[in-house]
Amino acid sequence: MAKRDELAKIATRLRIHSLRMTTTAGSGHPTTCLSAADIAACLFFSEMRFNPRKPDDPANDEFVLSKGHAAPLLWAVYAEAGLIPMKDLSDLRKITSDLEGHPTPRMPWVKAATGSLGQGLSVGVGIALAQRLDKSPARTFVLMGDGECAEGAVWEAASFAAHARLRRLCAIVDVNRLGQSDPTMHEHDLAAYARKFRAFGWDAVTVNGHKIEAILEAFKKIGKRGKPTVILARTVKGKGVSFIEDRNGWHGKPLKSDELARALEETGCLPDVDARKLIRHPKPFRRKTKAAAVFAFPRTAYKEKTATRLAYGNALLALGKVNRSVVAVDGDVKNSTYADKFFEAFPERSFQGYIAEQNMIGMGMGLAAKGYLPFMATFAAFLTRAHDQVRMAAYSFSNIKICGSHVGVSIGEDGPSQMGLEDLALFRSVPGCVVLYPSDAVSAEACVEAMAAHPGLAYLRTTRPATPVLYPAREAFPIGGCKVLKKGPRDAVTVIAAGITVHEALKAGLELEKEGLAVRIIDAYSVAPLDAAAIAREVAETGGRAVVVEDHYAGGGLGEAVAGALAGKAVLKHLCVRELPRSGKPEELLERYGVSAAHIARAVRELAAG
């Protein structure tokens, strides 16, 4: 049988599986599976090379389904390839099945969760960067929808990929003309897409996405011009089932059983072909000896006041020396986050992400999926730009590390647009995400070590101004711990602080001591997980009275974390930034917005007075 015929038969099987699966599940997106079925057949059973026994074989070509709602098609491919049992297909979207509505790495062949559109290309860029670092000949394929090309993140990734000359990266856009609620902006104007990608430095190839030979021919052009390649495939949504083909109103809608019966009359029965025999295995390839999982590094000795952001830079550099898996990405602020120290020492492991935070985090997910340990930094305020990518990194179980600098009103004169005042809420809302917020350079370095060693998403919050050194050089700062910085038998109130407010709390403590009022002071450097037990114990010893003070907005920060942990066990006063701040000197702003030593002292006095 000619290969063309075999692939066409596989495509038909993929269509039938997709239709049946979604009808059985009673939900899902069959029409978007049908438009991409021929592409998927050609890709997995002719163009890609992969070892069907090892999803993590470094020789494998990698695949990202950016249009995640075509998950049934992907599961059908896996079943046809023998990667999962055929019978699993009937469990689509069941709570007991890893064949979820949109792909997640609960399925080991999936390298990143998708379903929030426009993110897959960045992940693909990260994977391609990892393959290049590995000196691997493997390639990366990203299957995108046309609708998602409206997402800016796509163009951040496209710019970066061209700039980095990732010629082994191939995007395929399934241009099926229809979005969810309307036709797309460009409908079937493939030239419009081609112009955009070419302007962004890509080679663009247009093709009829339902002609097997044409698709195979297009694949031959990948990378031929030394650029990343996009294959723009003209397709028909619902292809193969006449009554849903190219019709608006069929997005995210399975066929009813009678409709399915009619559809299967058109497709015919499952054609007889063994797709597994068509799988093309890669030439064996081994990464050079993988870097050992070393996370401990020689610490800098600090005596003078030092900004925690500077300590982050020092720590990242030191970590990079002992662990070759560590890579850094920055959003054109590396001279402020101090990631530049790593960039200078390890240019080959450093990626200037320019001002494109979404792509920065997406690339990190790709790098992490291939075993690298990415540290990404920008101003904490601008991480809000990548909130959706952070969310998807959680669903991807990504082992990525993020540093947000310039937090709170303590940055001063640059004003509110540059102040990270919601980052704790952002990262605390991600289940399992570690959130560390050191107050001095020593703890900052220790936190970098802890987050590197922690397998999973971790966030470090660093401060712009220099702060005094509080801790001895070898002090340990485990994730989930806290430090009691001041303690006495007569403490009337516990002050719980983190970062810059630890120093305000210490000042307040000295002031109050003069008045004969003793306070306990806790450095809650591990904001998540919070050391709830220790904090509860200390607060209980001070009569259940506590002040929480943070350079962050009220919602979702340290104060609410403590309130949640101590509910019913303490009377709390919460000092935080409660209005939209403005430009000014750091100390003026700490005072004006209620998180200075003077405010802490006042709150303590009020609580102590009962």
Residue 414 is a binding residue for its own copies (CB under 8 A): yes
Name which position in 38, 134, 203, 340 contacts its own copies (CB under 8 A): 340
* Locus of tokens 């239709």: 19
Contacts of its own copies in 81-120 (CB under 8 A): 93-95, 97, 100-102, 104, 106, 113-118
CA distances, 584 to each of 251, 407, 503, 531, 593 (Å): 51, 15, 19, 34, 11
Closest approach of Cβ 555 to its own copies, in Å? 4
In order of 29, 175, 192, 270, 408, the CA distances from 423 in angstroms are 35, 37, 38, 52, 9
As measured in angstroms, the least distance from the Cβ of 262 to its own copies is 24
- Produce one character per residue of 300-326: b if its CB has 16 or more CB atoms within 10 Å, e if not: bebeeebbbbbbbbbbbbbbbeebbbb
Please identify, using beta-carbon distances, which residue of 327 and 539 lies nearer to its own copies: 539
**Closest CB to its own copies among residues 9, 188:** 188
For its own copies, the closer CB: 3 or 592: 592
Please identify, using beta-carbon distances, which residue of 61 and 148 lies nearer to its own copies. 148
- With respect to its own copies, which residue has the nearer C-beta, 527 or 597? 527
Residue 550 interacts with its own copies (CB under 8 A): yes or no: no
Q: Which helix (H) or strand (E) holds 145?
A: strand 140-145
78 near its own copies, rule: CB under 8 A = no
Please tell me the distance from the alpha carbon of residue 173 to that of residue 597, in angstroms, as a whole number: 57
Which residues, numbered 492-531, are part of the site for its own copies (CB under 8 A)? Answer: 528
Identify residues 227-256 at the interface with its own copies (CB under 8 A): 249
User: Taking CB under 8 A as the criterion, which residues in 525-544 touch its own copies?
Assistant: 528, 544
Residue 24 touches its own copies, criterion: CB under 8 A: no
In angstroms, how far is the first alpha carbon of the chain from the final one?
88
The angle at the Cα of 260, spanning 256 to 262, to the nearest 5 degrees, equals 120
Among 55, 82, 371, 416, binds its own copies (CB under 8 A): 416
User: Phi, psi at residue 582, to the nearest 5°?
Assistant: -135, 180
Establish if 338 lies at the interface with its own copies (CB under 8 A). Answer: no
Closest CB 530 distance from its own copies, rounded Å? 11
CB of 97 or CB of 323, closer to its own copies: 97
Q: Does 328 sit near its own copies (CB under 8 A)? A: no
Locate all alpha helices (DSSP H) within 212-332, ordered by sequence: 212-219, 257-267, 308-322
* 563 touches its own copies by CB under 8 A: yes
- 211 versus 592: smaller Cβ distance to its own copies: 592
124 binds its own copies (CB under 8 A): no
CB atoms within 10 A of CB 476: 10
The yes-or-no answer on residue 606 being catalytic is no
Question: Half-sphere exposure (CA, 13 Å, Cβ side) for 157?
Answer: 37
140: left (phi over 0), alpha (psi -120 to 50) or beta: beta
Stretch that binds its own copies, among 476-484, 491-499, 509-517, 565-573 (CB under 8 A): 565-573
As a whole number of angstroms, the distance between CA 269 and CA 567 comes to 61
Q: Which of residues 346-385 bind its own copies (CB under 8 A)?
A: 352, 354-356, 358-359, 381-382, 384-385
What residues numbered 442-481 form the site for its own copies, per CB under 8 A? none
Distance from C-alpha of 386 to C-alpha of 112, rounded to nearest angstrom? 16
Which position among 154, 273, 450, 601 is part of the footprint of its own copies (CB under 8 A)?
154
- Considering the complex, state which of residue 481 and residue 556 has its C-beta at the smaller distance from its own copies: 556
Tell me the closest approach of the beta carbon of residue 228 to its own copies, in angstroms.
15
Least Å distance, CB 82 to its own copies, is: 23
The token duo for 542 is 């001070």
Please list the alpha-helical segments (H only) found in 99-148: 120-133
Q: Taking CB under 8 A as the rule, does residue 564 contact its own copies?
A: yes
d(CA 245, CA 239): 5
Asked if residue 203 binds its own copies (CB under 8 A), the reply is no
- Hey, is 206 helix, strand or coil? strand
Number of residues in contact with its own copies, rule: CB under 8 A?
113
Amino acid at 338: Y
- Stretch of 166-174, 333-341, 465-473, 477-485 lying at the interface with its own copies (CB under 8 A): 333-341
Selection from 207, 209, 176 nearest residue 31 by Cα:
176
Q: Does 561 bind its own copies (CB under 8 A)?
A: yes
Phi-psi region of 568 (alpha: psi -120 to 50; beta: other; left: phi over 0): left
Other Cβ atoms within 10 Å of 453 Cβ, number: 13
C-beta of 179 vs 209, nearer to its own copies: 179
In whole angstroms, the minimum distance from the beta carbon of 4 to its own copies comes to 34
Q: Is 305 in the site for its own copies (CB under 8 A)?
A: no
* Identity at 286, one-letter amino acid code: R
Q: How far is the CB of 406 from its own copies (least distance, A)?
A: 11
**213 contacts its own copies (rule: CB under 8 A):** no
Which listed residue (47, 80, 151, 357) is catalytic?
357
For the annotated catalytic residues, the residue numbers are: 357
